[in-house]
Structure 1
Amino acid sequence: MLERFFERTIKSYLMITGFLTATAFSTFLAPDWSMQTLFSYNDTMMENKEYLLGTYQHWGVMVGCIGVLLMFSAKYKSLRTSTMIYSAFEKSMFVGIFLYNVCINDYEWFYGWSGVFALDGFVTVYSLVYLYYYLTRDKSKVPAHLR
């Protein structure tokens, strides 16, 4: 059952999540706009933006490149395993950071990152279910992500 599911969804998953992840380039190209529009930063939060501008732009490039890599791996099967592992790790770390900052630190401003949390949460769940499939699959067959 899981094998058929992943065999049918892997290319769409890689293209859609790759495209959505690649939109992080907007934080590199237009950091002020993206911080205010996409992540709900207010004027007070933007007062000292020059101190964090490089960090946000670096994040945008790093995550944007992961998105491009996800889209390329939809076509080039040899990239899929390493790309899925790296993507799952990076996105699960953001899910942890989001939950920590919202639940433990009680940073209400972090709710502006809810869209990223939703996408990364989906990728994390998909990746965990895929890992379960991969570990319990029939080892005599080629894994679903390589077909």
Structure 2
Amino acid sequence: MQRFFELTFKPFFVITGLGTALASLYAFWPRWAAETVGKIPFVTEYTIITQHWGIMVGLMGVFMIVAALKVEWRKPILIYSLLEKGFMVYLVLANGGQSYAQGFKVGAAMDATVVVYTIIYFAVFGLSKSQQ
């Protein structure tokens, strides 16, 4: 199992980090991202929180890429990513029947994959051991 992570960790977190970083579209083009990507109506009064969410999640993606490349940064980034992405998956599942959740299902599927991968990664390497 360790060999699996040695082979897949960098490409997995670079690719999923890039996907996560795309949320920064909400920070710079909130109307377009909400309506086109999220498939939700843009509410002008929520522009600031939409942009804030976009930059937070976008930076999470950047840091996921950093975790792929800098072993010493890996553990705190993975822990935060696990919590952030796990909560997003929960939110989409809890609101799955609502129309406003539909545009987030693809992202939640990717987030669920990252959560499962990270849990197995920590099960193999532990939280206290040095990773790779």
* Cα distance in 1 for residues equivalent to 2:63 and 2:100: 30
Distance 1:131 1:74 in 2: 15
Q: CA deviation at 1:86?
A: 0.7
Give the Cα–Cα distance (whole angstroms) in 1 for the partners of residues 115 and 34 of structure 2: 24
Aligned to 2:26: 27
Q: Write out per-residue CA displacement over residues 75-104 of structure 1, whole angstroms, 9 at most, x where no aligned residue.
A: 2111111111111110001001111111xx
- Supply the AA of the counterpart residue of 1:72: V
- Which residue in the other structure is 2:120 paired with? 129
Q: Partner letter of residue 69 of structure 1?
A: F
| Structure 2 length-normalised TM | 0.91
Q: Gaps (5+ residues) in structure 1?
A: none
Quote the offset at 1:9 in angstroms.
Answer: 0.8
Paired with 1:55 and 1:31, the residues of 2 have a C-alpha distance of 10
State the identity %.
Answer: 31
Aligned pairs (5 A) from 1:94-105: 94-102=88-96
Query: Are 2:111 and 1:120 aligned?
Result: yes
Which consecutive unaligned segments of at least 5 residues does structure 2 have? none
The normalised TM-score by structure 1 is 0.82
The equivalent of 2:3 in structure 1 is 4
Residue in structure 2 matching 1:108, options 99, 104, 117:
99
- What amino acid sits opposite 1:126 in the alignment? Y
Q: Which amino acid aligns with 1:95?
A: V
Aligned Cα root-mean-square deviation (Å): 1.6
1:68 aligns with 2:62: yes
CA shift for structure 1 position 117? 0.8
Pairing 1:92–2:112 present: no
Aligned length: 131
Work out the CA distance in 2 between the residues paired with 1:127 and 1:74. Answer: 12
Amino acid paired to 1:22: A
Aligned to 1:52: 46
Whole-Å separation in 1 of the counterparts to 2:106 and 2:48: 22
Q: Which amino acid is the alignment partner of residue 115 of structure 1?
A: V
For residues 92-142 of structure 1, what are the alpha-carbon distances to aligned partners after superposition, in whole Å with 9 as ceiling and x for unaligned? 01001111111xxx312311111211111111111122222234xxx9xx6
